[in-house]
Structure 1
């Protein structure tokens, strides 16, 4: 008999409290209510009516309330091919049945990709800062993570600059790939980037592509913010047929249509990769939410008629300008996003009271966790500490930053700005 039949698996045992529960618990305990939530990246408003109306109509259809085909509803796959086909460098047109698989959100799609290709001991390269779910997804597949830094500008605590000034450590990346040799099977990209807001330039993507070809790597390109870019945006799978053949591109209906709770995602790629992702997806959750797939399909069909993509970008860029004006006012530097809806602000000028009492699970974390806790408790505004997206060894790089999500109603942004003005009394 097992000495401890209730012993958890190592992949979940011993994990320290995650940032999301820390922030939520602090928000509930804060004496300043209601909390202005600029932390987690969910929208503060509904999807456009042409999308929500489609969801309501789908609920009245028998076929939409039953299992969807495991690879996705045909209408959605066709809509994705029509929406994304022109963007990729393929020798033949995209085929809805061969080049697309629908997943339960982009996150499950990425897990399916790792489960499809990563075996115990295989290595996966990701960039710091990283979306935290990458870590657990890779480790659950038995993969070993190799980190490469994306470094903030040296003047980040002194003046505002573009998110483009966060630079990939190319020497470190090349050294990692040379050292690992054949053990590395995949490299993960994220553009537009969470949390930095950087859009990888064409030249940066070309350099990554050259390394991927040289080392025979699969590229997993997380492009869930692909409709929110404010500078030229390039897809790595669009650069050449050779890169298309080794790239899985990840997308999200929740991100593009303001419906993060719908959990409709997809992967696009060559048939020799997609078929294995589809097989893994089938074993993880079989199929994804059927009526909401239909609504996302209609969303793509109708978006251009409503000029939705251009209006969406204009609206989000306006929110970024509206919110970031408070950092200009306070003379707190930040990274101007090139895409997405997150802003990294540098709060090195904010001096926390020396005798301030933090709970143990915050006191032993980097400074940004303390800043986060302090803002919630004293000002009633929630943000996310970006060291959560770093290894412990490199957390010091961003411990003066906080991440703010601007995908909120304008009145909420104004409330957030008013509360942030309370930082003046704590600034040198």
Structure 2
């Protein structure tokens, strides 16, 4: 053949690191703290709502293209209750097959060949693939580790300098995966001002909105001038621990929802029918559910973070999400493979029976992420405690 079968724009994307590390965990029997999925199901009443929908025949055939009315109404009620954002369920909400499809459909809808997209680096791996499939050019702005503060910081001057006449949109993720950064009100205000000044759209991935331990989650759409230019993406998977259901949503101004729906209808068209009804009930759970869920994850964060620090890692304690980023270099050159996160993660299951993910896969500038490794703490407490015991061997 004249050229390889894979589209050139996707040639750089092979099997995801999550598949590789999960297979390594299965092969070695290691504790998998690499891929970010819970090891227990969410609320029983939500699961029963899905069963009830199946039995009642709700959603077993194609649901409406925009999503079932009950879920669209529930999404609007959620946005109003938590953030004071008013949306029309018939014109300003679109239900998607998880947040990943929402991101891909938004990028396909808004981008044309050569449009530039600014994304905060490190970024979730589907961002790069989605931009490439849409014909865009990704422009990373790097969140940089502050070792003294134990957190990552956004350089607003670097962000402003990254905007050119070809910039179409900013792809924002807060709370941020993988670093756990929660952007402050001041940072978000500066981003909003920049978007308005340079006439940019912003896609905001807010799937960890209810997992903020330090600070607060503030949707960018609440800032002046941003409701009309922001596509906000949410998801049930992270909030209710049913990641396999793949129920996400978009809220935005009517013309933006119409644009995203134009792309989405040729991806999955519709999906997750009975689960949509269940998620509608989940979004109506009392505030106490969200508080207890967050507090449980905060406790698990601290158990794993303390254990990693005791094992010799430099730990960046996350303000949000359920991931912890660590620097492996304090472990010493032999254990840390001279700061090579890939080599370290591939050897860690044999060394102490734990699987993690190298952060370098989330960077264009691989050298920036080389010594950093991500662990997930969305697991049962007994699993985390067992992992901490195994990791102690690194300190020894």
Give the TM-score of the pair, scaled to structure 1: 0.88
1:360 match: none
Q: Closer, same or farther in 2 for the Cα pair 1:176/1:71, shift >3 Å?
A: same
Per mean C-alpha deviation after superposition, the further-off stretch among 195-204 and 62-71 is: 62-71
Distance in 2, Cα, partners of 1:321 & 1:118: 41
Match of 1:170 among 156, 171, 178: 156
1:334 match: 315
1:26 match: 24
1:189 is paired with a residue whose SS is strand
1:324 is paired with a residue whose SS is helix
Match of 2:113 among 116, 120, 124: 120
Q: Any conservation in 1 of the 2:329–2:339 contact (CA below 8 Å)?
A: no
1:225 matched to 2:220? The reply is: no
1:334 is paired with a residue whose SS is strand
1:369 matched to 2:342? The reply is: yes
1:350 matched to 2:326? The reply is: no
Q: Any conservation in 2 of the 1:187–1:217 contact (CA below 8 Å)?
A: yes
2:177 match: 194
Q: Closer, same or farther in 2 for the Cα pair 1:400/1:274, shift >3 Å?
A: same
Q: Deviations over 1:90-148 (max 9, x none)?
A: 6xx42101111000000000111011110111111101111110000111011111111
Match of 2:51 among 46, 56, 60: 56
Distance in 1, Cα, partners of 2:64 & 2:345: 43
Q: Any conservation in 2 of the 1:251–1:266 contact (CA below 8 Å)?
A: yes
Q: Any conservation in 2 of the 1:366–1:395 contact (CA below 8 Å)?
A: no
2:254 match: 271
Q: Which has the larger radius of gyration?
A: 1
The within-5 A match list for 1:279-358 is: 279-301=262-284, 303-304=285-286, 307-353=288-334
2:112 is paired with a residue whose SS is coil
Give the TM-score of the pair, scaled to structure 2: 0.95
2:188 match: 205
1:219 is paired with a residue whose SS is strand
Distance in 1, Cα, partners of 2:203 & 2:353: 38
Q: Closer, same or farther in 2 for the Cα pair 1:15/1:233, shift >3 Å?
A: closer
Q: Any conservation in 1 of the 2:22–2:32 contact (CA below 8 Å)?
A: no
Q: Deviations over 1:165-224 (max 9, x none)?
A: x121222222221xx21x111101111000111110000000011110111000101100
Aligned-residue offset at 1:284: 1.3
1:63 is paired with a residue whose SS is coil
Q: Deviations over 1:328-385 (max 9, x none)?
A: 423532111111110012221223549x9xxxxxx9x970011111211211100010
Q: Closer, same or farther in 2 for the Cα pair 1:308/1:88, shift >3 Å?
A: closer
Aligned-residue offset at 1:89: 6.4
Q: Any conservation in 1 of the 2:120–2:171 contact (CA below 8 Å)?
A: yes
1:284 is paired with a residue whose SS is coil
Q: Closer, same or farther in 2 for the Cα pair 1:327/1:40, shift >3 Å?
A: same
Q: Deviations over 1:222-275 (max 9, x none)?
A: 1000011112221111122x1111101100111111011110000111112111
1:73 match: 68
Contiguous gaps of at least 5 residues in structure 2: none
